[in-house]
Structure formats: structure tokens, C-alpha cells
Homo-oligomer: A and B are copies of this chain.
Amino acid sequence: MVKISDVARHAGVSPSTVSYVLSGKRSISDQTRRRVMDSIRALGYRPHAGARALASNRSNVIALVVPLRSGIHVPIVMQMVIAAVTTARTYDHDVLLLTQDEGVGGLERVAGSSLVDAILVMDVEMHDVRLPVLRSLDRPSVLIGFPADPSGLTCIDWDFEAAGAACAEHLVDLGHREIALIGAPPAVYERGTGFAERTKAGFQRAAAERGVHAVVRPCDPEHARETAADLLRDHPGLTGIAVHNEPAVEPLLTAFRASGRRIPDDLSVIAIAPDDLAERLDLTSISIPAEELGRQAVAVLMDKLNGDQAPGATLLPSRLVARSSTPAA
């Protein structure tokens, strides 16, 4: 194994100089820097991660806690994970993967052993048992999602309240007087996951402000057909529908058509969904950019690592893209 002293000898400088060339923590003459860099390349030197972590008290690794529970859409999670890894690399960090089932112990383990410098937690619950641990840990963390009490924590998420409201506004502006939101699977609401509730709240608030009747239904994608049928039966006057449940979108559309409703003639449909899905189905949508969220979360985490004061809460705006499922009047 090539070590820093080998490089130093080869370049005719001291080990500390090689270290400083690599870290940039003090000024080095151009000539020396070049000589050192040449030696590094010539010898194929790679700093030993463990030695570095021991001496500097920084591992250059962040932990990423991924969820894998019912009701969450896996491809979106994966997009965020990939974006997080890619972004972390631009900050010269790697990503250690933790699953939720290790729970609180996993966080204490990787933080306590100095395996990671910081922690990114996805899919936070309203009353997440990990919150007190995260608050007490000596390493910075960022949560993707908002718990009931975010005090003392840094959280980031899409602005689902605004997204829900935008759906209602869009439908009302098109002239609909009776609208519905088809939301996440029941399991998600029962868990008290924040995003589902916030979408609902925004939708209902915006509708109420405009004096429009709004109903909200959870929806299990496997029973989309029944949900659609029930909804249309219970509310025959329904003409505008928002869907916030990615895997259920296609089954729902099929079910609406099967029940004789033409889209958009009889029913306007807007979805809160990733762009690729909405584009394919030519659906008006509020886009939820997964990569953007993963990227931003890491950026905020790195700010905290550098000691910069990060905002306690970040809400990523979503964007409404009109397509042919909600025609202008």
C-alpha cells in the first residue's frame, strides 16, 4: 500500500506538505503542488479512509435511512436515494445505507462509532421514535418530511399543503363546483404520515375559501376500481378530481372511463405525480420533483456540517403543468 510518506519521499517534501496539498488547508507554492500531484499520480496514492477519519474526526460519510413500508411509492424513493448519493459525491462524501428496521439503535451505532458525519432520514412519521435520538445526537441531521413537532430539527419536504390547494384552485377556476381528492392508501393516513394530511388540508382549505364542495377519499391502489365507483355513486355531481396516489392513477382513470365518464369532457382530472407519469398519460399535474428533494436535502445537510446555520424548515414549491385532462374553458 502506498502511503503519504511514500508520496512525500518521491516528491522530496514532508508528509505534512502532501497532506496540505490534498486538503488545501494552507497555501502551497505552485511548483510544490505540481510535484506532489505528479508523485500522487505516479504512485497511485489513495489516502486511507480510516486513518483520515481517525486523525481528522471526519469520515466523509453520511448515513441515509431509507423507508420501505406499505403505501409509499418505491420508484420515487429510489430517485431520491440516487439523487442523494450523487449530490453527496459532489461534496466529496459517500453514503451509508441504513434501513428502518434497525430503528433507533442503528442511528446510535453509526453516530456513536463516528462511522458517519451526518444523517439524512427519509419518510418521517408524525410521532417518530427517532426524533429524540436525532435531537440528542452530536451529529447534524436532516429529515425529509415533517413530524408533529419539528422543533430543534431541520426538515425539508415538498409543500403538499400548497400542492393540495393548487389542485382545488385549478379545478375551481375551471368552473367545477363539486370536487374530490383521492389520496394515499388508508395505511398512510393511519400512520399519521404528514404529507397525506397536509395535501388534504390544503385541498379542503382552498375549496372552502371558494365555497366549493370538496370530498376526500383515501385509496388503496389495489382497490382503485371500487374507490372510483363508490365515489361517483356517492357524489353523482362530481366533475373535478385530484389524485394524489401515484400507483392508483392509471387504475382510477380506467375505472372512471369504465363507468362512462369521459375525460376531460365529463370529468377533469389533475394529479400530484412525477412528470414522467403525467406526461405519458397527458394529465394535468402538480409535479413532485424527487431528485430535487434528494439534492436539496443533502445540500442542507452539508451546510449544517460546515457549521452554516441552516433553515429549520424548507418547503420545496411544486409546479402546476396544464395538460389535456383539464381543458381551459
Q: Which chain A residues have a beta carbon within 8 Å of chain B's beta carbons?
A: 44, 46-54, 59, 61, 64, 66, 68, 74-75, 77-78, 81-82, 85-86, 89, 94-99, 101-102, 108-110, 112-115, 222, 254, 280
6 contacts between A and B (CB under 8 A): A48-B114, A50-B114, A86-B99, A89-B102, A94-B96, A94-B98
Chain B residues with CB under 8 Å of A97's CB are 64, 81, 85, 94-97
B64 engages A54 (CB within 8 Å): no
Copies of this chain, complex-wide, total: 2
Q: How far is the CA of A113 from the CA of B74 in the complex (A)?
A: 32
Q: How far is the CB of A60 from chain B (nearest CB, A)?
A: 9
Q: How far is the CB of A316 from chain B (nearest CB, A)?
A: 21
Q: How far is the CB of A310 from chain B (nearest CB, A)?
A: 23
B46 engages A112 (CB within 8 Å): yes
Q: How far is the CB of A254 from chain B (nearest CB, A)?
A: 8
Q: How far is the CA of A113 from the CA of B110 in the complex (A)?
A: 19
Chain B residues with CB under 8 Å of A99's CB are 82, 85-86
Chain B residues with CB under 8 Å of A98's CB are 85, 94
Chain B residues with CB under 8 Å of A50's CB are 49-54, 59, 114
Q: How far is the CB of A63 from chain B (nearest CB, A)?
A: 9
A47 engages B86 (CB within 8 Å): no
A49 engages B115 (CB within 8 Å): yes
Q: How far is the CA of A51 from the CA of B49 in the complex (A)?
A: 10
A113 engages B78 (CB within 8 Å): no
Q: How far is the CB of A77 from chain B (nearest CB, A)?
A: 7
Once A54-B54, A59-B50 are accepted as A-B contacts, the answer to whether A94 and B110 lie under 8 Å apart by CB is yes
